[in-house]
């Protein structure tokens, strides 16, 4: 899998490499994050994608609950790869 897009988070000044993932893969990663913690989520991402540890971490910290910013209380994000209008944090905003 070599298909990435790169987005910059203005809030933490990180370039995030975003692999193209299927809906099932996104679900798997989100579930791991919710139920198994950071370590397992990183392992899961590295199993599914070619991302290195640094890029996997950048990805994981920008996962959010659909609609809800990962940084602030804003809860009206729509569509994937959204910048929060309130705090400028990048959100993957997977369904
Ligand atoms: Zn960020
Ligand atoms: Zn926000």
pLDDT band at 2 (very low <50, low <70, confident <90, very high): low
CA distance 5 to 80: 12
pLDDT digits (tens, 9 = 90+) for 29-50: 999 999 999 999 999 999 999 8
Q: How far apart are CA 68 and CA 26, in angstroms?
A: 16
Res. 67: pLDDT tops 70 = yes
CA distances from 45 to 11, 38, 83, 87 (A): 23, 11, 22, 26
Ligand nearest 76 Cα, by number? 2
What would the pLDDT profile of 16-27 be if each residue is shown by its tens digit? Answer: 999 999 999 999
Judged against a pLDDT cut of 90, whether residue 1 lies above it is answered with no
Q: What SS3 state is found at 54?
A: helix
Q: Which ligand is nearest to the CA of 88?
A: 2
Residue pLDDT, tens place only, 69-94: 999 999 999 999 999 999 999 999 99
CB 83 within 8 A of CB 10: yes
pTM of the model: 0.92
- Note residues around ion ligand 2 (Cβ under 5 angstroms): 69, 71-72, 74, 84, 86-87, 89
């Amino acid at each position: 899998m070599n298909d990435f897009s790169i987005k910059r988070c203005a809030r933490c000044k990180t370039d995030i490499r975003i692999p193209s993932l299927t809906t099932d893969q996104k679900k798997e990663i989100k579930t791991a994050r919710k139920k198994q913690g950071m370590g397992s989520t990183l392992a899961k991402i590295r199993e599914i994608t070619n991302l290195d540890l640094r890029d996997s971490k950048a990805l994981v910290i920008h996962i959010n609950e659909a609609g809800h910013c990962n940084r602030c209380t804003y809860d009206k994000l729509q569509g994937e790869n959204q910048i929060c209008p309130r705090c400028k944090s990048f959100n993957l905003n997977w369904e």
